[in-house]
């Protein structure tokens, strides 16, 4: 299972606790792309929150043994603590709509005992195209190829189901 390769039990517990607290968030960035099958690596997992002031975030952090370190200078807020150090806080997804609008472009993915929202690969690509950082430009061809492959596989599954239905 992909979650066993990416997340520890404590990290999954933090994600599950965010969900228990009804915190609106989704996984975005390269880790979200990897969870959708893109052959990419990353050193962190980006979490985009609808409202960073949601008290449920602090509750989930306390239950997980983590804290939120406030922003300073040009640095955004960040998490500290063993169960949350993998996660980065995303304040803005450039090139995309609002969180509420992009939530429609996400899906629920089961990670262990947690169900988390993951931004769809085409929207991750749109954001990386808008930002145009050198590291994003390097992985864009891989992400586009993955999206194309996923689209072809989806078409094959749909065609196969349609063919079976006709035979029955």
Give 3-state DSSP helix, strand, coil % of the chain, rounded to 5. 50, 20, 30
- Residue 153 is predicted with a pLDDT of 67
> What is the number of residues in the chain?
168
Predicted confidence at residue 5, as pLDDT, reads 54
pLDDT at 168 over 80: no
**What was the pLDDT predicted at 6?**
72
Residue-wise pLDDT for 16-32, tens only, equals: 999 999 999 999 999 99
Q: How far apart are CA 58 and CA 70, in angstroms?
A: 12
User: Other C-beta atoms within 10 Å of 27: how many?
Assistant: 25
Mind listing the domains of the chain with CATH numbers?
2-167 (3.30.460)
Q: How confident is the model at residue 47 (pLDDT cuts 50, 70, 90)?
A: very high
Kindly report the average pLDDT of the chain as a whole number: 89
Cα–Cα distance, 149 to 23 (Å, whole number): 33
* 8 A C-beta contact, residue 42 and residue 114: no
Taking the C-alpha atoms of residue 54 and residue 63, their distance in angstroms, rounded to an integer, is 15
pLDDT at 57 over 50: yes
């Amino acid at each position: 299972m992909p979650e066993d390769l990416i997340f520890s039990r404590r990290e999954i517990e933090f994600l599950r606790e965010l969900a228990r607290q009804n915190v609106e968030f989704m996984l975005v960035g390269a880790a979200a792309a990897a969870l959708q099958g893109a052959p990419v690596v990353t050193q962190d997992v980006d979490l985009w929150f609808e409202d960073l002031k949601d008290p449920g975030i602090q509750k989930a952090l306390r239950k997980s043994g983590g804290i939120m370190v406030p922003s300073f200078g040009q640095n955004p807020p960040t998490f500290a603590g063993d169960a949350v150090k993998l996660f980065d806080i995303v304040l803005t997804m450039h090139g995309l709509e609002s969180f509420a609008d992009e939530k429609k472009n996400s899906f629920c993915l089961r990670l262990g005992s947690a169900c988390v929202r993951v931004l769809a690969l085409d929207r991750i690509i749109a954001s990386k195209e808008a930002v145009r950082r050198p590291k994003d430009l390097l992985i864009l061809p891989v992400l586009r190829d993955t999206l194309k492959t996923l689209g072809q596989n989806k078409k094959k599954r749909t065609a196969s189901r349609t063919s079976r239905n006709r035979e029955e």
